Amino acid sequence: MTPPLILVLCTGNSCRSHLAEGILRRALGTEYEVASAGSKPAGYVHPLAIRAMAEIGIDIASHTSKHLDEFLTRPVETIITVCGNADQACPIFPGQVNRHHFPFDDPAHATGTEDEQFAVFRRVRDEIKQVFEAYAAGRKDQAKRA
């Protein structure tokens, strides 16, 4: 049986959605497939996002920036948007059962020195970690009761 697909969407698919994908993938394990995409993909994963995740033991260096259209023919069980633009641009996917919106600041817009920018990536990563680990715990509890 194919695990349910949870798709995390953002506009650029360069930061927030990859942070959430990595955290959710680790929290849920193999019982779910977790992917991310964007409505206007940037074409890269931000190096500071990769570095922030490495700090907590999650390797997203091999992630790629993808367009949400790549998933339109797949049965997506849950859509989670992490920015307002993606929430507004999000189409309905075949088989989609759940939809959630958890907005976060975009660390790609951080200014200042690299250390100051990285501090923003860490903050957003930690906020995403808190929300998505709680979401994963809820999904696991729900699965146990089913």
The set of catalytic residues is 10, 83, 90
Residue 85 three-state SS: helix
* C-alpha triplet 99, 101, 103: angle, nearest 5°: 160
8 A C-beta contact, residue 32 and residue 143: no
Are 117 and 44 a contacting pair, CB within 8 Å? no
Closest by Cα among 42, 35, 132, 44 to 74: 35
The label of the residue with tokens 């394990």 reads 29
* Burial (0-12, 13-18, 19+ Cβ within 10 Å), 123: middle
